[in-house]
Each structure stands twice: as C-alpha cells, then as structure tokens.
Structure 1
Amino acid sequence: MADLNKRLFSAADNLRSKMDASEYKNYLLGLIFYKYLSDKLLEKVVEVADESIDKYDSQAIQTQLYRNILADKEHRDDLMDTLKDTLGYHIEPDYLFNVLTDQAKQNIFQLNDLHKAFIDLSTEYEQFNGLFDDVDLQSKKLGSDDQQRNITITEVLKKLNDVDVMGHNGDVIGDAYEFLIGQFASEAGKKAGEFYTPHEVSDMMAQIVALGQKNKKMFSVYDPTMGSGSLMLNVRNYLNHPESVKYHGQELNTTTYNLAKMNLILHGVDKEDMRLRNADTLNKDWPTDEPYTFDSVLMNPPYSAKWSSDKSFEDDSRFNRYGKLAPKSKADFAFLLHGFYHLKETGAMAIVLPHGVLFRGAAEGVIRKKLLEDGSIYAVIGMPANLFYGTSIPTTVIILKKNRTTRDVLFIDASKEFIKGKNQNKLSKENIDKIVETYKQREDVEKYAHLATFDEIKENEFNLNIPRYVDTFEEEPPVDMAAIGASIKKIRKEKAELESSLYEMISSLQYDEENADWIKGALEVFRHGK
C-alpha cells in the first residue's frame, strides 16, 4: 500500500498544478484501471498458452508471446474467443499499457493511441461504455496544445507503470481513491464522505449484515447510493460462497458511478452478476422488477441532503406506511425508507446517517416512531467523530430488520474508542471486533452498550439519542483540598524568598546616573510588593 501511495503521489505531481484534485483523481484512477485490464490480459495469455508465469516473468516477454499467437492464424481466433469468454474483452498488443509506457520512456508516445484504446474498449464492449469519459485526453488543462498534453500524460504513464495492480493486496481502486481523497482533502474532500466509506466502517457494516446469512448459496446485496462500490464488495469477505454474490447498485454522480463499475470489474465481478444504474435513487424507485428485495442493504447516503418531498410520494410504496414524508431539507429518512423497502424479510440493513435522525422531531419523529412501533430498528451504533472524508461530524450506523418478534433496540456507544489521526480518525481491528461482538451478544456492557426495551424507548418519547440509554459519564476523582492548600502555601513561600533575593541583588548593584531611575523604580516595585 505504501508503494501504491508513493507512486500515486508522484504521478499526481504532474497534474496537481494543472487542475484540482477532484479532476486529476479521475485521470489517475482511470489509468490505473486501464493498466489493470492490460496486465490481467497478459497474465491470461500466458495461462491460455499453457506456459509458466515464472518463465514469462516480464511484460515484454508476455507481450511478445501475445503477438506471436496473434500472428498465427490457426491460433489467433481461439485466443481471441477465449479472452472474450473469460475476461469479457481484449486489447490489441499495440495498445497495451506497458507498450504505451515503453513508448513514453522513448519519448515516442502518441496521445491518440491511448485515446483509440479507450474508444475501442468502450464501443466494442458494453461494460466499458462511458467508463473512460472522465479521462479527457483533449482537455486544455493537460496542456495548451497536443504536444504539451502528450508530455503530461507521458510522465503520468511512466509513474504509474510500476504500480503492481495484480499483486496489490486489497482493493486497489478503493485504496487509491482513499489515498487521493485523504492526501488532497483540502482540494477534493468537500463531499468525499458522501461517496466513499472508509474501509474500517465498511468492514464493520459488512460483518454485521452478513451475520446469520454466511451459508447462503446465493446472496444479493444492494446499495442505492453506492459511491465507489466498496461497501457492496466488502460483504463477500464474510460469506462462505463469495463467488455467487449478485451486486445491485445505483449512483447519481456519473463519475462516481463509473468508478464503482471499474471497482467491481477490477474485483472480478462478471457483468452478469452486476446490475448497476446511474440515476437518482429517491426521484424514482429502482429496481421495480424482480429481484427488487435483497439479502443485505448497505448505504452511506449524502447527509441531510435536499429532495423534492413532493406530495406524489405520499402514495409511493416506499414511504406510504410511515405517516409523513421526510422533510425537503433533510432526505435522511427518505434514503433509509427506500433501502428498507428493498430489504428481504430475512435480511439485514446497515445505513450511516448523522445523529439528528435519532432525535429530531416533526415529520422525522413520526417516521421514527412508526419504525420503532414496527420493531424495524434493531440496533443504533454511535461512531467516533471525524471518520469520514469531508465531514468531521460524528455519525451513527443504524441496523434494521423485518418481521421481528420483539421491539427492543441495542444501543452501542463506540464514539470514544478509535485511533486519533492527523486528518482523519480511524477504527482499529480491536475497535471493530468489539462493536461486532457486542452486537452479536446483544447484552448490556457498562458505559458501552445497553439493550433498551420498547417501554423504555416509549418513556423517552421515541427519542433515540444514545446518551439517554448508554451512560458514559466518568466521575471526576475527589479533589484533595488540603494538598492543594499546602502546595499554594509552598509556592507563595518560594515566591517571597525569590523576591527577597532579587531585592538584595539589585540593591547591591553599582550603577551610574544614566541607570539610576531604572534601579530606583525596580526597588520601589519590590518594596510595594512586600
């Protein structure tokens, strides 16, 4: 990860002075994704040729093998069919990332070749349609003319060429995205928390929604505000059949939607297993055809966003059971109810929201009361402040379930246990494990968790503010007034002795007429003090 960050930082140097981070982030992520597609293809060529990766241990040798097979008419069609069947795409040898980088090192790289590579992928294979739109190679910000733009991208290619995207242990797009947002938050991070959930929080939510469902042969996950897609991808880490997960996601921001699509492809998700949509989640319900309910729903929507709250939504099956619509100025409950509507009767939902949803009144109070009366709210977890990019506010993770036989709610106050960071706070593995274990045990833990009965919640007028249920107050140790008095007496005695010593020292000084007034003034101060 350190190596990835180092190379990203270096590559960003070539773009940082030309555009803000929200733009150059798209170039870096798009090029890393293209490098992944290129490198993966070369590995597949070696495998299809039934050769050893140890023998073909450099991309130059792998590329030559690829060219040789394509030059043989007898084997060319077989290889192309295999690549399309297994990878879902192919790239001509002249447009491979490593070939273009070699040209960049020789200063013979042509921007049009990379542009053509993007066009070929986007037009020939549906899954790549629009994915490279944000890597605008004709942008004036890269340079005033073709030559300058060529030089800029040449330098970026050389910097990114050494990133080991195939051997990177983890989520390379997610890790790269998190680094870029964190490193340049002052430029790009204004609303980054809306479309990127820090890995630790994502991991905790994934563990929770997978509980009791790990053995399902077929598992479906839905994120109606999917951002980079990492929330959905994390769930498979806690399932016994990760290869059979079906991913359903929606995202309003087109750039972020493309990022999620890249992320899923990069994680080996087949196009048949992903159903993604670039649209407004609240404006029109989706999905409406089968399947429209899912084993898990995970969400980190934009906090307290505005929405229309139009009267027509009162008849919408997502919202019509709850008495009121979420207010125009705060769509938090609209997002929650949308996700909950799409949850299976046997599933679990986790959503990140600001604390206001726990106690605000008016329409939100009506909706919250109905959810509690139905037993839909299963747990409320208070998270530390400053975990998310672009916002320092503390958040809450709410867990919802359907068809419960009880209406109690588990409250966990995890707000005080975290690793303090320079820019962002983080959760340690121990912090996450404690939350998940407490959630599983569903019992009181002093100053950390409380299982509240429905009657208790009713007594609190359906206010879910966590301090009402989890007392984290720490008593101050008793003050020893006698010790403080003795300390003050000692300090006064030392002060008097010091002043006396200074008075004697100044009195004994030899001085001329020029300093006489200053010395007399100083002695007068000490006399007055005494």
Structure 2
Amino acid sequence: MTQDLNFITKTKELIDNLKSVCANYGLGNDGNEFKIITQVFLYKFLNDKFRYEVKKAKPELALVENFSKALQDMPEDDYLFLVNSLDANIPRLQSHQLISHLYNNQNKEDFAKTFDDTLRDISVKNADIFSIKSFTGAKDKLFDELSQYISDSSQRDAFCRALVNKLFEFSFEEMFEEKYDFFATIFEYLIKDYNSDSGGKYAEYYTPHAVARIMAAIMVTEPVKGVRCYDPSAGSGTLLMSLAHQIGEQNCSIYSEDISQKSSTMLRLNLVLNGLTHSIPNIIKTNTIAQPYYLNQKFDYIVSNPPFKLDFSDFRDDLEKDAFKDRFYAGIPKVPKAKKESMAIYLLFIQHIMHSLSESGKAAIVVPTGFITAQSGIEKKIREKLVKQGWLRGVVSMPSNIFASTGTNVSVLFLDKMADSAHIVLMDASKLGQTVKEGKNQRTVLSREEERQIIEVFNAKEAVEDLSVVVSKAQIAEKNYSFSAGQYFEVKIEYVDITAEEFQAKLNGFEERLVGMFAEGKALDSEILGSLKKLQMN
C-alpha cells in the first residue's frame, strides 16, 4: 500500500509539474493547456509502456544502462522481430522516439521541431490502435504540434525542453510490474480541472464514482466473458470504466459514442490507463441521436448518464423520418415556443438504449427522478413498454445533490431483457448519504457502507422498511406505471389497546379543550368588533 501511495504521489506531482510548465510559458488556464497536458501525459505513458513490454520480451535489455542506445544498436531485422512479437495493442516506438533519447539530445538546435516531429511520427505509426474515429470514419491525430501553442517562437525550444525534463524524472514501469490498481485515482486527478460544466450547448457532467460503482455492481452479478459494453453518451468514460472493472478488462470490449472531442480524448486516455487499449478503435466522435454510428449493432451491457435537457431543434424534424421511427417509438419531444434548451433529449437516449440492447442485454441509465412518475407523454409510454415487455429490473432513486454540478434529483433505471417481472425492486435511497461542500456547491456523498447496502438489498430483491419494495409488473400497472418506491410503501398505523373508561376520559378531555378554545374565540371576536367601532377618521 505504501508503494502504491508513493506512485500516486509521484504521478500527481508529474501532472502538477506539467501544469507549472504551461503556466511558466503563459498557457496556464489557457484553452490549449488541456491539449498539452493530456497529450504529453499520453506520450509519457506510451513511452513507458513500450519500454516495459520490450524488456519483458527481451529481459537482457532491462540490464543495460542506456536503453534507447541499446535499441538503436540492434540490427534492423532483430528490432523488427522484437517489435512484431509484442501484443497488437502495445505502442510501437523507435529508439529515437523515446523520452530518454530526447532528454539526451535536448541541447541540439531546433529542439522544438525535433519534439514535434517525434510526436507526429509516433501518431502516424500508431494510428490504427490509438486514433479516435468520427462518424465519417476520419481518424484524429494522437498529438498536435505542441510547440506551436507558444506564440513567441524564440521560447519554443525551452518550452519543449521543460516538458521533456519533467517526463524524464520518473517512470511508470514499476507500476506496470506491480499491477497497482490506482489509475482511477490518477485519472480523476488529471481531469479535475478540465471536466466541468462549461455551460455550452453540449455541457459535460462528471458521474460520481459511487453512482458508477453501484450501477456496475447491480448489473454484473456473475462472471461473463466476451461481452460488448456500450455508452451512447460516454463523456470521459467513468461509467464504462466501472463496468469494465466489474466484468474484468480482459473479458469485455468497450464501445462508445459522444459528440464532444474533448470527452473522446479523455476516454481514450482513460482506456489506455485502464488496460483497455484494444477498445480505442471503438470510440466514435459523433452525434449519437442524429448520426448513430452503431445504429444496427446490439450490446450486452449499456450504461449511460445522458444529458437531460438540450436544444436539439436543429435536427429534431429529421428524426421523424422512417429511418428513425422504430428507434423512437414513444415519440420525439416537441420544440417549445420558449426555452428550447429545455427539450428533454434524455428521452431519446432511453429509447436509443432500448433499441440497442441484445436479446439478453442489460442497461443502467441515469434519469431525472421526474421521469419515474410522469402521468402521461413520452415518459409514460416508455415506462409502460418496459413493464409490459418484462424488461424492468428495478429503479434506485438517489439522494438529492448526488451530482455537484446539477440540483436535479436523479434515479437509476435498471433494464434487463431477462428480468424477473414478479420481483421488481423499487428503492428510495434519497435519505442516505452525507452533505459535503465542494467549492460553491453542496453535494451528497454516499459512504462505502451505504453503497454496499444499496447493492446488496437490490441484488437480493429484498424489501426493507422505508428503503425498498419488491413488486410485480401487475402491481406497477395498477399504479399507472409509477416507478416511485414511495407509492408502494405501506402506510402503517399504530394501535394502542385502551379500556372503555380510558377512551371516555380522553374524549372528555378533547371536549373540554374544544369548549375552552371556542370560548376564547368568542371573546376575541367581541374584542375585535369593539375596536372597529372605536375607529374614527381624522
């Protein structure tokens, strides 16, 4: 554990040092700082991963003093044989592309150009594995020409030297060797300054790890292999990572869609850090609702925390076409006369997810709690179909302010095409958690014990007073398809046995108090009337 914490501390120091370099060259809080930090961090990781895997394949290289020179001195055929023996998901680097080589040659002229050329070559060589595709199939670049973000060309060499010096200070290699599971902590620290709600049209929200863990642990209750996991609004991938950890990274493939380039970049880095490099080609930057890349594919597990409200009026009418009618069977929200940004786009994501489930598929979707009780409209049609089809496994209503960035109360909808329709779990966890302050916002935080309680009660299909009920699809139909646990809780009246004499005494006491109150009221009426008669106009 001490070694684990040591690695975490050193890695956080690296991130802070890279941010310090950006600040020293005028890029602190600049829009390009995000690109520089994430791309340099990715370069560092690919460098160290390559070194680690090569040393495993050829152990004698772990003993040499100058690793990059040892690679450089290898006959070309030997080098090609070594690289080709590596797993297909391992990055391919040349000796002159290693950080150690750049470090040893940083005082040469035009170092910024050497640095940019190195990253460009790595990007081209590794595009098939590490690039993100758009809806059209175009692939992004792994790395930009980072020196170009420094407007003063005379400072570019120094800027690139500063970055390389920070990257050279320590290695990830020991972390790969020990297989420490610390990357979730590192990733959260890395993105904390870059994953806030910017207020734009496609604002991104960070799903709390507690919610992600609960969703994964309820969805995956037994070992599975070779499954396909999907998130149609993936963001930086918190939900997908929790799901993959629950299943086992080696037992699943990740698929995702998201309209945000920033989120897609973060998700790529998250996959690399969490041993899911093989799934990077499945990350698609697209508008899932208007241009779904995976429209005709089905998935075993789907997780999603979709945007709740968003103006999609510019492509709303296109969704009425025949190509989309089956997918949006319950309807498409209309464009309001005012507040277009209030359009309930999450209703389209729910329908898209239902369309995308395999024959035995499971899904967990974060929805506004108002969805589970709406008396009519698209919401009611969706709930009705889920119940009639036998796809509803249950619902967990979360505490308020579980998300720091939104005050909307949320629930998690659990779907399962093989669900037990006689034992549907409805849970009201709104009273759990502790309120903490995060900056200007207040957020409710669940303890690990409360997380376990939610998971265990739900998976055991257990009815717990004031927390959960277990109902049948027929009972839900009787309640107008409400998914709110509170509407199914029993109203308990406590009875106390008393004698006839005690009952009469209590009744006499009530009568005496009422007579006294009536008398006081009559006296007060007389006093008010007397005061009114004394009023005079000056």
Q: 1:28 to 1:316 in 2, by over 3 A?
A: same
Q: Secondary structure at the match of 2:214?
A: helix
Once the two structures are superposed, the pairs formed by residues 443-454 of structure 1 within 5 Å of their partners are 443-454=462-473
Aligned to 1:484: none
> TM-score when scaled to structure 1?
0.75
Task: State the alpha-carbon separation in 2 of the partners of residues 220 and 144 from structure 1.
Answer: 45
Q: Secondary structure at the match of 1:306?
A: coil
1:35 and 2:44 aligned: yes
Q: Which of residues 463, 466, 471 in structure 1 aligns to 2:482?
A: 463
Aligned to 1:75: 78
Once the two structures are superposed, the pairs formed by residues 37-76 of structure 1 within 5 Å of their partners are 37-51=46-60, 53=62, 55=63, 61-69=66-74, 72-73=75-76, 75-76=78-79
Task: State the alpha-carbon separation in 2 of the partners of residues 373 and 359 from structure 1.
Answer: 17
Aligned to 1:200: 210
Q: 1:319 to 1:470 in 2, by over 3 A?
A: farther
CA offset digits 1:75-117 (Å, max 9, x no partner): 233224334x54554222222124334556x697822222112
Give unpaired runs (5+ residues) of structure 1. 474-530
Shifted more, 86-95 versus 116-125: the winner is 86-95
Mapped contact 1:228–1:263 kept (Cα < 8 A)? yes
CA offset digits 1:11-52 (Å, max 9, x no partner): 323335635376423321211111111111111222222337
Mapped contact 1:381–1:411 kept (Cα < 8 A)? yes
Mapped contact 2:469–2:485 kept (Cα < 8 A)? no
Aligned to 1:211: 221
Q: 1:468 to 1:22 in 2, by over 3 A?
A: farther
Query: Aligned-pair RMSD on alpha carbons?
Result: 3.6
Task: State the alpha-carbon separation in 2 of the partners of residues 367 and 393 from structure 1.
Answer: 20
In the alignment, residue 364 of structure 1 is paired with which amino acid? E
Q: Secondary structure at the match of 1:205?
A: helix
Alpha-carbon shift at residue 456 of structure 1 (Å): 4.2
Task: State the alpha-carbon separation in 2 of the partners of residues 152 and 278 from structure 1.
Answer: 31
Task: State the alpha-carbon separation in 1 of the partners of residues 83 and 163 from structure 2.
Answer: 30
Mapped contact 2:214–2:451 kept (Cα < 8 A)? yes
1:111 and 2:119 aligned: no
Q: Secondary structure at the match of 1:51?
A: helix
Mapped contact 2:392–2:419 kept (Cα < 8 A)? no
Q: Which of residues 251, 254, 261 in structure 1 aligns to 2:268?
A: 261
CA offset digits 1:253-296 (Å, max 9, x no partner): 1232233233324434354785232211111343245xx21211
Aligned to 2:245: 237
Task: State the alpha-carbon separation in 2 of the partners of residues 425 and 400 from structure 1.
Answer: 25
Mapped contact 2:214–2:455 kept (Cα < 8 A)? yes
Task: State the alpha-carbon separation in 2 of the partners of residues 186 and 278 from structure 1.
Answer: 19
Mapped contact 2:330–2:382 kept (Cα < 8 A)? yes
1:226 and 2:234 aligned: yes
Mapped contact 1:207–1:436 kept (Cα < 8 A)? yes
Task: State the alpha-carbon separation in 2 of the partners of residues 445 and 114 from structure 1.
Answer: 61
In the alignment, residue 70 of structure 2 is paired with which amino acid? L
Task: State the alpha-carbon separation in 1 of the partners of residues 104 and 490 from structure 2.
Answer: 63
Q: Secondary structure at the match of 1:301?
A: coil
1:400 and 2:415 aligned: yes
Aligned to 1:20: 29
Q: 1:453 to 1:128 in 2, by over 3 A?
A: closer
> TM-score when scaled to structure 2?
0.74
Aligned to 1:442: 461
Mapped contact 2:49–2:90 kept (Cα < 8 A)? no
Q: Secondary structure at the match of 1:194?
A: coil
Q: 1:107 to 1:398 in 2, by over 3 A?
A: farther
Percentage identity across aligned positions?
Answer: 22
CA offset digits 1:326-355 (Å, max 9, x no partner): 445111121011112111222210111222
Aligned to 2:498: none
1:178 and 2:178 aligned: no
How many residues in Structure 1 have an aligned counterpart in Structure 2?
458
